[in-house]
């Protein structure tokens, strides 16, 4: 009987090791605007600060400049990793139309939006947000400045 105890301990420790969950996430939505007008079909990227070790989250605004879903690794629904993030807003193509291509079939880059370079730059981002656990995180990004 005493021989069995270590074996059980090893098995139990294995179960504990397997049940470890990924980083905590929280739902995110928001609006992107430039000088009072919505910014349609922009890609909003949430880049967690390095120490949190989480995945980036990507959302895309609709025709009204709203994004309701942020895609993050290991998460089927809407959400981003909890903690502080840098946010970049870059152009993208509308999801429901064919993307224009050049002679070679390579997708063209989307036309440049009017907002400043500092909102695109992932190295020196102008937008910084904190995503809090256990609540809906709503952000209103104004790219006018």
Contacts with other proteins, residue ranges (CB under 8 A) = 45, 55-58, 60, 71-74, 88, 90, 99, 101-107, 109, 112, 117, 120-123
Helix (H) or strand (E) holding 17: helix 4-18
- Provide the minimum distance between the beta carbon of 123 and other proteins in the complex, in angstroms, as a whole number: 7
CB of 80 to other proteins, least distance (A): 11
Minimum CB–partner distance for residue 75 and other proteins (Å): 8
Whether residue 70 contacts residue 55, with contact meaning beta carbons closer than 8 Å, is answered with: no
Between 14 and 100, whose beta carbon lies closer to other proteins?
A: 100
Cα 108 to Cα 89: distance, rounded to the nearest angstrom: 18
Closest CA to 61 of 18, 32, 24, 35: 32
CB nearer to other proteins: give 5 or 104.
Answer: 104
* Backbone angle region of 4, left / alpha / beta, with phi > 0 → left and psi within -120 to 50 → alpha: alpha
Sign of CA dihedral 102, 108, 114, 116: negative
Query: Shortest distance, CB of residue 43 to other proteins, whole angstroms?
Result: 8
Q: Indicate the residue among 60 and 137 with the shorter CB distance to other proteins.
A: 60
Nearer to other proteins, 38 or 110 (CB): 110
């Amino acid at each position: 009987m005493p021989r069995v105890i270590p074996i059980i301990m090893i098995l139990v420790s294995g179960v504990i090791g397997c049940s470890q969950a990924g980083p905590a996430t929280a739902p995110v939505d928001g609006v992107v605007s430039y000088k009072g007008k919505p910014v349609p079909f922009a890609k909003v990227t949430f880049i967690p600060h390095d120490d949190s070790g989480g995945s980036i989250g990507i959302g895309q605004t609709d025709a009204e400049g709203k994004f309701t879903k942020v895609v993050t690794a290991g998460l089927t629904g809407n959400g981003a990793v909890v903690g502080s993030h840098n946010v970049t807003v870059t152009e993208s193509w509308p999801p429901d139309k064919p993307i224009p291509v050049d002679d070679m079939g390579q997708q063209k880059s989307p036309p440049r939006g009017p907002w400043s370079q500092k909102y695109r730059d992932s190295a020196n981002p102008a937008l910084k947000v904190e995503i809090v656990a256990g609540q809906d995180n709503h952000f209103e990004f104004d790219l006018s400045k």
